[in-house]
Structure 1
Amino acid sequence: MASMEPAQITVAVMSTVNITHIILQYMQHQKLQKQVRRQRQLGDESDENMDTDFSQSTGLGNLDILVVKGQVHAVECRFWARETSTDWWDCIELQVWDDSWWLRNFHMQKGTFMELCDLLSPALKLKNTKMRAAVTVHKQVAIALWKLATPDSYQSVRNQFGMGKSTVGASVIQVANVITELLLSRVVTLGNMQVIVDGFAAMGFPNCSGAIDRTHISILGPDHQGSQYINRKGYFSMVLQALVDHKRHFININVGWPGTVHDARIFRNSGLCERLQQGIYFPDQKITIGDVEMPIVILRVGWVPLMPWLMKPYTGTLDSSQELFNYRLSRCRMVVECAFGHLKGCWCSLLTWLDLSETNIPIVIIGSPVLHNICESKRETFMAGWEVEANCLAADYAHTDTRVVRRAQQGTVCIREALKTSFIPGQAMV
């Protein structure tokens, strides 16, 4: 009640008084009607007078009751909505914090945050309802960034912003959806090819357009087919495959494959591989090395065969020239590992078992490289402490509860046991 306006309090009190008055009059009316029925049974014909006297004594006919009921229903529902405190966000975070505080807590400066809000505003702006004022665009984005940038639970974020837990969850998904719809194709893109080629050439590898790799994002075990998500390190994950340029910008991503799927299969079934094979992803820009023409290439270690457009290191016993080739390739390929390191260090919720549905997990994962590219393009500072925290989180969450893994594998174990029994002589297979 302390947060209500005086006018609202007055309306609420008056409506309560009206309701109480109606109830008392209705009870009196029922009592009088019982008396009328009793007198009729005794032969008394004065019922009309009784009805008339009731109307006159109360001053309230049937029409008046309907009018009052209409007034009661007209009371705004806002009175019944539970208000939560948002003072910390409204008065401290949004108004007082300087760029260093914004960087520590949202992993971007306030100016970058405001620009991001402007980009997302057309799709995030909500309308007020009778229940309460709509959550502002700035608060929706702030909630999503705080959840992505910290290992905090939804309950912790709820307390930070004075919002309901369901509102926090909805804001995270909604902001990630809008980022995917409005910014993905604009931010995660190839860019200026010649600048990228020149950048890798300066690092020691000619006519190169990017380095490709994959990383596993920790998730909670899905309710169904959970065993498909257990990767070779023994925890549930979803795979993010990414092509990265010389400045650690993501230029192509592929998300959604379960952790148990082999890297080569993910790459072969990606749109990137298809366009590379067709020769339509990069411009037809070739250089001559010795007497051999070399197209634009990408760099990768292992799991895929050597292609004209994909360079891999030599394996086995190496001579000095092969070792030099491997050194230069590895040096350039490090950009993708650095990009993944910065991605998880900045948006460290990717390390903490994303507790979302299988449908929403890819959406949140996709939003993170977009935010990464925005921060990189704005030259936002990557603080050393983030990497330390990310390494600690990775160690804590790298191993799933073995009981969960056993439950996911239980069906497979049963099948193996049944097969073992059927192989015994004399045991027929059904």
Structure 2
Amino acid sequence: MVVGVVIAHERCVVMGVLVMEVVAEDVVHAGVSGDETGREEGDVEEGDTVEAVDVGMSAWVEDLPTVKGDFYALGHIPKITGAIDGTHVALVSPRRSEQEYRNRKSYHSMNVQMVCLADQYISHVNAKFPGSVHDAYILRNSSSPYVMGQLQSHRVWLIGDSGYPNLSWLLTPVRNPRTRAEERYNEAHGQTRRIIERTFGLLKARFRCLHMTGVSLYYSPKKVCQIIVACCMLHNLALRQVPFLQEDGPAGGLVAAVEPVDSEEEEVEEEDIDDRNNAIQQYFQ
């Protein structure tokens, strides 16, 4: 574990072991539900649960004004409650269904969907899909539509890139802006959405096993999913709950580059642009 402060080796080991044990034993802890137990290591199957919704979600939902205010400070788009995107974590070629794990860049990976808050706290992670699966498909098959549906009385949005459909609760960029208002919206959108890229960079700086640095995780897909969720839990602990992991500055002393934008991301058909158009007219004219 790479952090910007000196931490007793024993404490790091204990934290990591405890989190991995919790994930592996399929109990709910800190909002993370681990895989089913009692099966051999292998591919992630339909019954596996490696999607985690932070148990603190109810707390930040109750504090929506603060969450929205923090996001507004990033790019001056109101009513944003999370930035969503996918990132790839490399693993060795699985024994089964190898092609499903080969992504567009021709290496094997898990495509991990995350949602973060403006302070880089990970409020949601879905780590159960192989690298060939598109971000939009992962979104449709995650708990995000349900969670955001429950929040629609608050008229809030997630913010994501053009790899997602524009929905009543998800704002994406205008693909071909024709007005100055649409250009201003896109500029604000990019400034706000960049926080998820910085979060990926910080997470992978803290846990180099998640970073594509010439090596891949030498574990089964199911175990890789567990490792990813465990790292997200420890990342959140470092941000919020563990005093001896704190350091001046939001990155805890780490130098974490913004994860590069995947310019090859396949655009999807926009589904519901009325709310986005209304937002542009109301806030960016």
2:226 corresponds in structure 1 to 363
Aligned residues of 2:110 and 2:130 also touching (Cα < 8 A): yes
Report deviation, 1:174: 2.9
1:327 corresponds in structure 2 to 187
1:119 corresponds in structure 2 to none
What are structure 2's unaligned runs of at least 5 residues? 33-52, 261-285
2:239 corresponds in structure 1 to 376
Q: Distance in 2 between matches of 1:110 and 1:237?
A: 32
The residue type equivalent to 1:198 in the other structure is G
Report deviation, 1:342: 0.2
Q: Distance in 2 between matches of 1:316 and 1:238?
A: 31
The residue type equivalent to 1:260 in the other structure is S
1:171–1:311 CA distance, 2 compared to 1 (3 A): closer
Aligned residues of 2:201 and 2:256 also touching (Cα < 8 A): yes
1:326–1:173 CA distance, 2 compared to 1 (3 A): same
Report deviation, 1:373: 1.1
Q: Distance in 2 between matches of 1:239 and 1:218?
A: 9
The residue type equivalent to 1:232 in the other structure is R
What are structure 1's unaligned runs of at least 5 residues? 1-104, 114-137, 146-169, 286-294, 395-430
Q: Distance in 1 between matches of 2:143 and 2:14?
A: 33
Aligned residues of 1:217 and 1:237 also touching (Cα < 8 A): yes
Aligned residues of 1:179 and 1:367 also touching (Cα < 8 A): no
SS of equivalent residue, structure 2 residue 114: strand
Q: Show the 5 A alignment for 1:53-68.
A: none
Q: Distance in 2 between matches of 1:171 and 1:200?
A: 33
Q: Distance in 1 between matches of 2:177 and 2:71?
A: 27
TM-score scaled by length of structure 1? 0.47
1:365–1:236 CA distance, 2 compared to 1 (3 A): same
Q: Distance in 1 between matches of 2:25 and 2:89?
A: 21
1:284 corresponds in structure 2 to 153
1:107 corresponds in structure 2 to 3
Aligned residues of 2:91 and 2:109 also touching (Cα < 8 A): yes
Aligned residues of 1:211 and 1:336 also touching (Cα < 8 A): yes
Aligned residues of 2:22 and 2:29 also touching (Cα < 8 A): no
The residue type equivalent to 1:328 in the other structure is A
Report deviation, 1:319: 2.4
Runs of 4+ in 1 over 6 A off after TM superposition: none
Q: How many residues align?
A: 226
Higher relative contact order (CA 8 A, sep 6+): 2
Aligned residues of 1:189 and 1:252 also touching (Cα < 8 A): no
Aligned residues of 1:180 and 1:367 also touching (Cα < 8 A): no
Q: Show the 5 A alignment for 1:65-84.
A: none
Aligned residues of 1:188 and 1:369 also touching (Cα < 8 A): no
TM-score scaled by length of structure 2? 0.69
Report deviation, 1:107: 2.2
Aligned residues of 1:108 and 1:375 also touching (Cα < 8 A): no
Higher normalized strand content (fraction of residues): 2
Q: Show the 5 A alignment for 1:154-303.
A: 173-174=20-21, 177=24, 181-185=28-32, 189-190=56-57, 191=60, 192-203=63-74, 204-276=76-148, 279-280=149-150, 282=151, 284-285=153-154, 295-303=155-163
Select the structure of larger CA radius of gyration: 1
Q: Distance in 2 between matches of 1:195 and 1:305?
A: 27
1:245–1:266 CA distance, 2 compared to 1 (3 A): same
SS of equivalent residue, structure 1 residue 242: strand
Higher normalized helix content (fraction of residues): 1
Q: Distance in 2 between matches of 1:182 and 1:275?
A: 19
